[in-house]
Amino acid sequence: MTTIDVDWTRCDAHGLCSRLLPEKVSLDEWGFPVVDGREVEPGLVKAARQAALACPALALRVQSS
Ligand code: SF4
């Protein structure tokens, strides 16, 4: 199972993650990401990893168990 979460100590609200992975990440009114914590569908795992790598603050975490 793969999930996404955000390290709030790092996130600077760049918003890039939402642009790269709109299926799983939306932004709140201040530009901070909103993730639902549910499993990332298999077809989106690669895109989720790419979004995590692209995060300028290395704040988006993709974890697989
Ligand atoms: S790209 Fe990274 S720093 Fe920017 S909003 Fe997403 S998690 Fe936060």
Sorted by where each starts, the structural domains of the chain and their CATH numbers stand as: 2-64 (3.30.70.20)
Q: What is the pTM of this model?
A: 0.93
Average pLDDT, integer, range 17-43 = 96
| C-alpha to C-alpha distance for 51 and 48, rounded to whole angstroms | 5
Residue 3: band (very low, low, confident or very high) from pLDDT cuts 50, 70, 90: very high
* Those residues with Cβ within 8 angstroms of residue 31's Cβ, 6 or more apart along the chain or in another chain: 13, 14, 15
Give, for ligand 1, the residue of 6, 25, 34, 35 to mutate: max count of ligand atoms closer than 8 Å to Cβ. 6
Alpha carbon of 43 to ligand 1 centroid (Å): 21
Give the number of the atom of ligand 1 that is nearest the alpha carbon of residue 14.
4
- Tell me the average pLDDT of the chain: 96
Alpha carbon of 52 to ligand 1 centroid (Å): 8
Average pLDDT, integer, range 4-29 = 96
Give the number of the atom of ligand 1 that is nearest the alpha carbon of residue 15.
5
Average pLDDT, integer, range 45-64 = 97
Backbone angles phi, psi at 30, to 5 degrees: -100, 0
